Amino acid sequence: MATKNFPPNFVWGTATSSYQIEGGWNADGKGPSIWDAFTQIPGRIHEGETGDVACDHYNRWREDVQLMKQLGVNAYRFSIAWSRILPDGTSNQVNQAGIDFYSQLIDELLANGIQPWVTLYHWDLPLALEMEKDGWLNPEIADTFADYAAVCFEHFGDRVKNWITLNEPWVVAVLGYGQGVFAPGRTSNSEPYLAAHHLLLAHAKAVQVYRSRFQPTQGGQIGMSNNCDWREPLTDSPADVEAAQRALEFFVAWFADPVYHGRYPQCMIDRLGDRLPKFSEEEIALLKGSSDFFGLNHYTTMLAADSGGEVVQGNVYGNGGLSEDQDVVLQQDPAWELTKMQWAVVPWGCKKLLHWLADRYDNPPIIITENGGAFPDELKDGQVDDQDRLQFVKSYLTACQETIEEGVQLRGYMLWSFMDNFEWASGYSKRFGIHYVDFETLERIPKASAVWYSKVIAANAIVD
């Protein structure tokens, strides 16, 4: 077998997010977030579970950094809990204990040769902003977010050189405001487009603050992480080919076209009428070119067909949110292997998506900021032999490596996730980690996939 080498300086990382791992939900002056509230509503989360303790990373961060060091990653992507820094979401009150927590974590990472990749927003909006201001539905939030971002740049930007403004605005908009399965739990067919609009403006304003006040002296990079799964036409009929294209435009181009081209995709403009807000000339100027790299979270592939005008509802917690606006029906090939999320394992879809993005956005530097899978891990004799996850990562990394050879500028790969954690509406029932977490004792155990991943990183190549 030919050695599958990665380019020099390839970014090898793992990823997590604040609400999913930290716990310490009200420790040391932290304000509540919409996820602290949403998890209290009976019926919303698997077995009523919450992130109150999660992996207790808030207290075990030193141990976690040591595990990362053993893994050999050169990057770690984590998110800042906005309400740990600003308890009511505004910069009127800064919580020094929150600043100290992230500051120490950043120092510890750097002391161990690991570059922090910091996400500013991974869904845990300060509850005060939701209750008092209507969260992402209020245009004011763009400035509020930019103020919060400035506090982070000011305190951490001397050491953090990689910033991600938003994690998966599609999920925030569609699952939070469309299907209502994630916080704040709203259901609507217009609010997702409004929330998305304000998310984009929040990103643009935070980037403006960074570029004007911090980047010139601190010299880091900033971008956004979008989730996108591949959409393969069900048949080669022009209608299905167009349906797959529409599905991708409603998925990722919704957020990436404004950033790279300064406008929404034409098919959204044509189909949504007044439900799609408009950008002013000034906003377009702010948005266009507002990312130094393309952050991609990628998990699966689905087949897309034209619905022929038949009304189809978006499948809950699936990948077809707002399908009714797209006239697209999604399905899986029954031959595909499924993970515990019922997401299909289709590495060639990753390849096709990377090429699609490279073509549409003029071959930008891309970082895969999430990829991984939930599998039925079993702890046996103190070990987890997760060959299924290992094969998953191997197959996707092989696709990535080939795509790089074909000229796509893929600069890094971050495995989701560093450890098992609170998987949103699925609670602790879905394990994505390469470290097993015993949620009784909070002990962490490297799985077979972690041992294998460390060899890949050391070799800078895919190994057996």
Is the Cβ of residue 52 or residue 143 nearer to ligand PNW in the bound state? 52
Instruction: Please tell me the total number of residues recorded for the chain in this structure.
Output: 464
Is the Cβ of residue 173 or residue 207 nearer to ligand PNW in the bound state? 173
Rule CB under 6 A: is residue 291 a binding residue for ligand PNW?
no
Sequence-distant (≥ 6) Cβ neighbours of residue 251 within 8 angstroms: 170, 228, 229, 231
**Closest CB 406 distance from ligand PNW, rounded Å:** 26
Q: Is 140 considered catalytic here? A: no
Residue nearest to ligand PNW (CB): 319
Is the Cβ of residue 50 or residue 319 nearer to ligand PNW in the bound state? 319
Out of 22, 124, 168, 191, the only residue in the binding site for ligand PNW (CB under 6 A) is 168
Write out the binding residues for ligand PNW, residues 12-41 only, by CB under 6 A: 17, 20
Among the residues of 210-315, which ranges form H helices? Answer: 215-218, 238-248, 254-261, 266-272, 281-287
Rule CB under 6 A: is residue 377 a binding residue for ligand PNW?
no
Rule CB under 6 A: is residue 317 a binding residue for ligand PNW?
yes
The one segment of 165-173, 184-192, 323-331, 405-413 that binds ligand PNW by CB under 6 A? 165-173
DSSP, collapsed to helix, strand or coil, labels residue 336 as coil
* Type of residue numbered 290: S
Out of 58, 148, 251, 416, the only residue in the binding site for ligand PNW (CB under 6 A) is 416
Rule CB under 6 A: is residue 319 a binding residue for ligand PNW?
yes
Sequence-distant (≥ 6) Cβ neighbours of residue 257 within 8 angstroms: 249, 263, 264, 265
**Closest CB 208 distance from ligand PNW, rounded Å:** 25
Sequence-distant (≥ 6) Cβ neighbours of residue 131 within 8 angstroms: none
Is the Cβ of residue 181 or residue 305 nearer to ligand PNW in the bound state? 181
The one segment of 59-67, 166-174, 273-281, 433-441 that binds ligand PNW by CB under 6 A? 166-174
Q: Is 108 considered catalytic here? A: no
Task: Count Cβ atoms within 10 A of the Cβ of residue 273 and give its class: 0-12 exposed, 13-18 middle, 19 or more buried.
Answer: exposed
Rule CB under 6 A: is residue 326 a binding residue for ligand PNW?
no
Distance CA 296, CA 10 (A): 15
> What values do phi and psi take at 306, rounded to 5?
-70, 135
Residue 324 β-bridge partners: none
Rule CB under 6 A: is residue 439 a binding residue for ligand PNW?
no
**Closest CB 227 distance from ligand PNW, rounded Å:** 5
Give 269-298 as a DSSP string.
Answer: HHHHGGGS----HHHHHHHTT--SSEEEE-
Rule CB under 6 A: is residue 171 a binding residue for ligand PNW?
yes
- Residue among 108, 130, 168, 191 flagged as catalytic: 168
Is the Cβ of residue 31 or residue 295 nearer to ligand PNW in the bound state? 295
CA 177 to chain CA centroid, Å, is: 17
How far CA 373 is from CA of 34, 317, 391, 434, in Å, comes to 26, 16, 10, 10
Write out the binding residues for ligand PNW, residues 193-232 only, by CB under 6 A: 227
**Closest CB 270 distance from ligand PNW, rounded Å:** 24
Is the Cβ of residue 193 or residue 251 nearer to ligand PNW in the bound state? 251
CA 186 to chain CA centroid, Å, is: 20
Instruction: Give the N- to C-terminal CA distance of the chain in Å, as an integer.
Output: 10
Q: What does the binding site for ligand PNW look like in residue numbers (CB under 6 A)? A: 17, 20, 167-168, 171, 227, 297, 317, 319, 370, 416, 423, 432
Would you please indicate which residues are annotated as catalytic (active-site) residues?
Answer: 168, 370
